[in-house]
């Protein structure tokens, strides 16, 4: 979890529209109406991160102030629509993005980050120090998921 961010990547806050291309190609190929936005995209407390490699966005994630009743914790954020472009996966871009998000959330005094994790993505979140709840549930059009989370005070 505490490995350093790789230098060839640079993560920064981006506009929600800049997430649409990777959302379309990597996450939601089933969408046919061309709308790759989600309702919380433009809420003031939401922020979007993009990880760049040579001026190209290769990884994205959207961070939403949303409480999950499964957790007894006041200040939570939810990660949605996290993805790395297919040709750039497993090279450290997702790590760079999530570490940047955790820094931002710590500065905002947020206590916990959670997400609905696709089963295929669980090894990534585990590698980042996140834990999972046991239950597996289906999300329509996408497949089985587990809830994963990390308390920010567990990060050194």
Q: Does 72 bind ligand COA (CB under 6 A)?
A: no
Q: Does 33 bind ligand COA (CB under 6 A)?
A: no
> CB 45 → ligand COA: shortest distance, Å?
21
From the list 13, 18, 127, 139, which residue makes contact with ligand COA (rule: CB under 6 A)? Answer: 127
| Helix/strand/coil (H/E/C) assignment for every residue in the chain | CCCCCCCCCEEEEECHHHHHHHHHHHHCCCCCCCCCCCHHHHCCCCEEEEEEECCEEEEEEEEECCCCCCCCCCCEEEEEEEEECHHHCCCCHHHHHHHHHHHHHHHCCCCEEEEEEEHHHHHHHHHCCCEECCCCEEECCCEEEEEEEEEHHHCC
| Positions in 1-30 near ligand COA (CB under 6 A) | 3, 26-27
Q: Does 78 bind ligand COA (CB under 6 A)?
A: no
> CB 84 → ligand COA: shortest distance, Å?
3
Q: Does 119 bind ligand COA (CB under 6 A)?
A: no
Residues at the contact surface with ligand COA, assessed by CB under 6 A: 3, 26-27, 59, 82-84, 89-95, 117-118, 120-121, 123-124, 127
């Amino acid at each position: 979890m505490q490995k350093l961010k790789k230098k060839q990547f640079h993560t920064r806050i981006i506009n929600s529209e800049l997430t649409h291309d990777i959302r379309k190609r990597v996450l939601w190929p089933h969408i046919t109406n061309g709308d790759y936005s989600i309702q919380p995209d433009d809420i003031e407390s939401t922020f979007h991160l993009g990880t760049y490699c040579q001026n190209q966005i290769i990884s994205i994630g959207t961070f939403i102030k949303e409480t999950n009743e499964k957790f007894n914790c006041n200040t939570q954020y939810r990660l949605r629509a996290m993805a790395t472009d297919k040709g750039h996966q497993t090279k450290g871009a997702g790590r760079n993005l999530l570490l940047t998000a955790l820094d931002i959330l710590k500065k905002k005094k947020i206590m916990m980050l959670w997400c609905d994790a696709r089963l295929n993505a669980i090894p990534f979140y585990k590698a980042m120090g996140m834990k999972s709840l046991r239950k597996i549930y289906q999300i329509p059009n996408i497949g089985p998921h587990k809830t994963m989370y990390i308390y920010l005070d567990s990060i050194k």
